[in-house]
Amino acid sequence: MSTTETPDSATFDIAVAALLDRIVRRQASVGVIGLGYVGLPLVQAFAAEGFTVRGFDVDDEKVAKLEAGESYIRHIPSERIARLKASGHFVASADFDGLAEVDAMLICVPTPLAAGQEPDMTYVIGTAEAIATRLRPGQLVILESTTYPGTTVEVIQPILERGGLRSGKDFYLAYSPEREDPGNPDFGTAGIPKVVGGDGTAALQLAKTLYDQVVIATVPVSDTQTAEAVKLTENIFRAINIALVNELKQVYEAMGIDVWEVIDAARTKPFGFMPFYPGPGLGGHCIPIDPFYLAWRARAFDQETRLIGLAGEINTAMPGYVVERLRQALQGRQGKGLETARVLVVGLAYKKNVDDLRESPALTLIELLEAEGAAADYHDPFIPEIMRTREHPELAGRRSVPWTAESLAGYDAALIATDHDGLDYGLLIDNVPLVVDSRNIVARKGLQSDRVVKA
C-alpha cells in the first residue's frame, strides 16, 4: 500500500461514500478505454446491470461500427451491440474529453513486448496522459491491462498526479487484471471472479464495490502490486506447463510414444495432475508475452527467472519443430522438398473457434514455410482476410482459400495449426496426400488415416 493519504473508518471521505452509493444504485457512470477483446465484454457486463457506459477508443473505424450497432469481434454478436445501443446504456467515442464526465475509468489497452522482450508501455502511458489532462476530484481509475508489478503506482500514478491531484486523497487508483478467455462458452466476464488491489483502502473498497455489481465474486488483495503479480502468475503457470508438454511431445516422438495418449491417460488420476496439451507454439495476447514482463521486472531486483526463460525458449521454438516434422514427412512419403511444395495452413487464429490473430503461431508457420521456398496458403472460416499485425505486416491482405475438394486437391500437404471445430477434416484427409496435425484434432474427431502425421 502506498504512503498516500487514505481515509480510515472514522474520517471516511464523504466523496467516497457518495460514489459508493452511486455505484450500488447503478447511477455511477463507467468509462472503458480500449474497446477490444477485454474492453468490449466489460462494456456489456456493466451495461447489462444498468450502468451508463462510455467506451473510448482511438480507432475511429471501431467506434463507428459500435455506434452503428455492429460488432467487430466474432464471439460478440452485432445483435448484442445493437441492443446495448438501443437501451441507451452505451455510447462509443474517439473523443477522450468525455473522460471528465465519468465516475470510474477502466483502462483496457494492449501491453505488447518491445525489442529485447521488454515491456512496451506506450499504450498504457498514452492512456494515462489522456486521463491526466481530464482528471477531476472523486474519480476512480482502474488499470486492467496485464503488466509487471509496480506499474500502477510507479507509472500510472505519477502521470495522474502531474496536475496536483493526489491518489487516495483526490482520486482513487486501483488494479484489477482482466481474465478474459475469448470464445469460451462457459466463462464470460460476469462469471469470472475479479482480483482487485487498491492504492489505499478507499480505492480498494470503491473498486471492489464497482466490480461486485457485475461479476460473480471479487477477490481483494493487499495492494496493486499483488494484483499485478496474480495475473502474471496465472499466465506463467500456463506457459511453463505448455512448455513442459511441448518438450515431452518431442521426447516421446523420438521414442515412438503418442504424447496425447499419455496425457489423456494421466488425466484420469483424480489428484496431483492437470492436463495441458502441446501445440505449434503459443498465441494470444497473454501467455506468449506476460512471462517476459516478470522476467524483465525481476532483473531490476537482481533476480533471475531461469524457468521462465527456458519455457520461453521451448515454446518459441515450436513452430520450427512443426515445420521440420512437415519437411521430414514430405521427403519420406513423397520424396519432395519444401522448396517445391504447396502447403495449406489450416486455421490461422491463435485458438479454436475465434477470429483472434494476436501472436498466432500460424502466422509464424507461414513465414517459415515461405522462407524454405514453399508456396503457403491458409484456410480459416473465422478470418477471411489477414489484417495488418505488428509482427507480420507482410502477410496483410491475404485471403482464406475455399474449403472444397477441388481446392484442397491442389496441395501437397496440409498443416493443421488451429483446431476449429466446424471444419470437415474428413474432406481434408480425402483430398490432401499428407496432413500434419499439430493439435491432434484428427484423432479427437475419431478419424484414422495413414495420411496423417502428428507434430
Catalytic positions are 286
Distances 276 to 243, 267, 404, 455 between C-alpha atoms, Å: 9, 9, 33, 16
Vertex 317, ends 247 and 450: CA angle to 5°? 65
Evaluated on CA atoms 86, 90, 92, 98, the torsion sign reads positive
Cα–Cα distance for residue pair 182/206, rounded to 1 Å: 27
Which residues fall within 8 angstroms of residue 140, CB to CB, at 6 or more apart? 19, 103, 104, 105, 171, 172, 173, 174, 203, 206, 207, 210
Cα 309 from Cα 295, distance rounded (Å):
8
H or E element in which residue 256 lies: none
Distance of CA 375 to the CA centre of its chain: 30
Question: CB under 8 Å, gap of 24 or more: what pairs does 48-51 form?
Answer: 48/190, 48/214, 49/213, 49/214, 50/26, 50/89, 51/26, 51/89, 51/213, 51/214
3-class SS of residue 414: strand
Q: Give the residue among 23, 73, 66 at the shortest CA–CA distance from 383.
A: 73
Question: Can you tell me which residue has the cell 521486472?
Answer: 297
Cell numbers found for residue 146? 496485464
Residue with cell 502466422: 363
